Amino acid sequence: MTVQTIIDRKGNDVATAGPQNTVAEIVKMLADRRIGAIVITGADRRIVGIVSERDVVRVLAQRGPACLEDPVSLIMSRGVVDCSPSEKVNDVMRKMTEGRFRHVPVTVDGKLVGIVSIGDVVKHRMMDLESEASAMRDYIVMG
Ligand code: AMP
């Protein structure tokens, strides 16, 4: 199963913000959209970073509420690991495990076309396992 299958189901919508948006604005976006991460894009809509609820919690613990007025560029992760729509979901799962993150933006020629979260990956893995189990049951009953 490829990343495209996930994009087909959930669509191309990705929550993005600019590097100058404040941490407070990011917190509001995360809460309003009930999501765990926001992709930070530059002027040409290319990915320049990613910020997740973990980054916000870390900086709040370190600096207290004063950090809410900072631009998100101060707390975002750079060097974002992305994937392509043709990549296997299992390979994306490996990237998440090795990089210890739960979000992977999907890009084509450097342009953002979607995002895969660990929840999407687990859901598709379960659907895979269920269809394998049902094929196995059919095989046993028929045999
Ligand atoms: P998460 O598990 O997605 O909440 O993210 C954990 C940490 O990894 C945070 O510091 C994020 O900014 C960072 N992060 C999340 N996704 C990625 C990614 N695809 N590439 C690089 N860093 C990431």
Percent of the chain with pLDDT over 70: 99
CA 138/CA 6 separation, integer angstroms: 26
Ligand 1 close to Cβ of residue 104 (< 6 A): yes
The model's confidence at residue 103, banded by pLDDT at 50, 70 and 90, is: very high
Whether the predicted pLDDT of 143 surpasses 80: no
Give the pLDDT confidence score for residue 62 in this predicted structure: 96
Rounded to an integer, the average pLDDT of 96-122 is 96
Torsion sign (Cα): 100, 128, 83, 104: negative
The model's confidence at residue 11, banded by pLDDT at 50, 70 and 90, is: very high
- Atom nearest to 105 CA in ligand 1: 19
- Atom nearest to 55 CA in ligand 1: 10
Ligand 1 close to Cβ of residue 30 (< 6 A): no
Q: Can you spell out the DSSP letters for the chain?
A: -BHHHHHHHH-S---EE-TTSBHHHHHHHHHHHT-SEEEEE-TTSBEEEEEEHHHHHHHHHHHGGGGGGSBGGGTSB-S---B-TTSBHHHHHHHHHHHT-SEEEEEETTEEEEEEEHHHHHHHHHHHHHHHHHHHHHHHHH-
> Are the C-beta atoms of 112 and 45 separated by less than 8 Å?
yes
Span 42-69, pLDDT tens digits = 988 899 999 999 999 999 999 999 999 9
